[in-house]
Structure 1
């Protein structure tokens, strides 16, 4: 052993060395990957084993179970059980921020300013609400008095995230990243027990409708037409065939000149002929021949 290694490693262990109190077998992990794919279209890579263990371990302990196999068997015996919702929520990743991928919002503002009639935008992966509220702020700034008629439909498969989104309460350090003018215009600062928190103002929350929606469901409750659809940083969790099916279902819900906003690491050009790239990860419907 190299000199000094005893001191540097004493009392420490890698995550693979730590003794686990719950049993997760290879077949359990394979079954979890199959179930979340069937349920939500999410493709879990082999290296996600540690994430799966840490997130689902809470559900096993909640039910007093020690083996993942018993937990999965319980799920499969009850296809309509409420626990499926918790299972899906646990394996859903929510990484978001206000005005994330900021270059999209001036494009949205320019687009909706040219529209006549009420503006409608769909945030198809709303997570904890930062994206749909950012869209609502953008519409308010771009439309002026017409913003009262604008609506943002915000959906997500994660019901816990949607509960947080509906509350519209965020840590001040997160809100302070916005321009000061936006903070003053769109948020209320908390006091007393709410110190350090900020709440989205009612005039903004009234513009946003939150609903639970699984993009893999055979039917969607949302109704078009929309001036724009935001589906950013969610398609990366699906395989190409699932992506193509979802894109085909987006098409009839968009107005003929509507915009589809994708995440910075997503490219739909090689997946579907329904949409063509306009630029800056923004897509438009391909003209019919």
Structure 2
């Protein structure tokens, strides 16, 4: 009961097709798809088959291999983008405490949000730091990256339905958003002061070189590592912590643990880590993941 038969589907989708998808997304983005993701793959990629007018997944995957322009659509379709403002709120309290501790530093506080999705996380970081410094132009730089070009475009616009602002306080809504009127009714736009703190970049974490310069005080990489296998996790973690300042923080997601990486990082707060010892290098070179 409840099992979807192959011949009931709109498009032919064989077990071999799923295995090809799994191999390609692992090669392109390092994402490990479990057996349980077969239906998710079908529903996400079926949209592309409709757009391209293809009859089955085998034809789509042949098209994908021959047309590099489709590869971005493929990765975008399979990238999960679950996010919300101030998701896992304890992390923003930790960030605020870190900012307060470093207020008197002459250096700008730099944060990398490594999975920005549609922008809620980096804008939450920006709001936290504006509140911590008590000014709309704090000495802060936020780099927000994602592999999905579609969500980056949405994040850059900074326009959200009012329903997506439910986790914000009334004060935050008034401080940081402009309520839409007329044709924009039902939406709100982040204020320019907030947008000016965030630089959006497209970054595939598997790329050999990341377009990043200098060291960061805090790296938010939440609920990203769960999509990679253990060897890839270790490679990426080692690269990322090379970008942290000596007392910097690496903030992971609620379902991620690096107890197996005790030689690299130590737990200092709830899913928040610091580097065990100084790691040489800038982290954007070498140690690239090779499938």
What TM-score do the two structures reach when normalised by structure 2? 0.91
Matched with 1:77 is 66
Matched with 1:51 is 40
1:38 equivalent in alignment to 2:27:
yes
The 1:247–1:282 alpha-carbon spacing in structure 2 relative to 1, beyond 3 Å, is same
Structure 2 Cα separation of the partners of residues 246 and 82 of structure 1: 26
Shift of 1:89: 0.5
Matched with 2:82 is 95
CA contact (8 A) 1:176 1:183 kept: no
Matched with 1:217 is 207
Structure 2 Cα separation of the partners of residues 67 and 266 of structure 1: 36
Structure 2 Cα separation of the partners of residues 147 and 183 of structure 1: 18
The 1:76–1:272 alpha-carbon spacing in structure 2 relative to 1, beyond 3 Å, is farther
Gaps of 5+ in 1: 1-12
1:257 equivalent in alignment to 2:244:
no
Shift of 1:271: 3.3
Structure 1 Cα separation of the partners of residues 217 and 88 of structure 2: 19
Shift of 1:113: 1.9
Structure 1 Cα separation of the partners of residues 143 and 261 of structure 2: 25
Structure 2 Cα separation of the partners of residues 114 and 271 of structure 1: 27
Q: Which SS does the other structure have where 2:222 is aligned?
A: coil
Q: Which SS does the other structure have where 2:261 is aligned?
A: coil
Shift of 1:288: 5.0
Q: Which SS does the other structure have where 2:199 is aligned?
A: strand
Equivalenced residue count is 275
1:113 aligns with one of 100, 114, 128 = 100
2:18 aligns with one of 22, 29, 32 = 29
CA contact (8 A) 1:128 1:165 kept: yes
Larger Rg: 1
Gaps of 5+ in 2: 280-291
1:232 aligns with one of 199, 211, 222 = 222
2:166 aligns with one of 167, 170, 176 = 176
More displaced 10-residue stretch of structure 1: 166-175 or 128-137: 166-175
What TM-score do the two structures reach when normalised by structure 1? 0.91
Q: Which SS does the other structure have where 1:82 is aligned?
A: helix
CA contact (8 A) 2:86 2:167 kept: no
CA contact (8 A) 2:30 2:206 kept: yes
Runs of 4+, deviation exceeding 3 Å: 145-148
Shift of 1:286: 0.3
Shift of 1:273: 1.8
CA contact (8 A) 1:118 1:146 kept: no
CA contact (8 A) 1:244 1:272 kept: no
Structure 2 Cα separation of the partners of residues 147 and 239 of structure 1: 40
Matched with 1:16 is 4
Shift of 1:26: 1.2
Shift of 1:24: 1.0
